[in-house]
Amino acid sequence: MAKVAFLLANGFEDSEMKNPYEAVREAGHETTIIGLEKNVECKGKTGTVYTSELAATDVKATDFDAVIIPGGGAPEALRVNDDIVRFVREVNAQSKLIAGICHGPQVMISANVLDGKQATCYIGIRDDVKLAGADFKDEEVVVSENIITSRTPKDEPAFIREILVKLS
């Protein structure tokens, strides 16, 4: 059983949180929602609400086996938080799974973990991913060492499949 962190803030893409979160839990893994603060409601773009269980200041990479970053507007708020960036950087340094869909790779960009990797993302941040040193691929899911990325909600089945493969 893996311990999986979900990074969340207001404005996340509802299905990109809900579907991977439920799939990871159903597969028997332990999930923790990490936000900018502890015990704060995070509201999705279409009204789904999750409550953060831990604040970014309280987490260490050694406590988790994987990190998943849903897209939408949340990654923009997460990427400017030094503790979130530190956490993702530390997870990467330990070669643990980091998965981001849609705008999720924005957090990876700020943590400087995409250089030399292959990645995909929402088309609007494609140039940012390239400038971060990644080889951009316009594919439903890209697995590059410990990094998994996908583009949009329609790619969720492939995104979830690859996450569950890495966690098994």
Q: Which of 29, 42, 103, 121 is catalytic?
A: 103
Q: What is the Cα–Cα distance from 63 to 89, expressed in whole angstroms?
A: 14
Q: Are 15 and 156 in contact (CB under 8 A)?
A: yes
Residue 98 CA to residue 117 CA, distance in Å, equals 12
Residue 102 annotated in active site: yes
Active-site choice (29, 42, 102, 121): 102
Tell me the β-bridge partners of 69. 100
CA–CA dist 68, 61 (Å, integer): 13
In a 3-state reduction of DSSP, which class is residue 29?
coil
Q: Which residues make Cβ contacts (< 8 Å) with residue 29, sequence separation at least 6?
A: 1, 2, 3, 4, 167
Tokens read off for 96: 């643990």
Which contiguous run of DSSP H or E holds residue 77? Answer: helix 74-79
Active site amino acids: 102-103
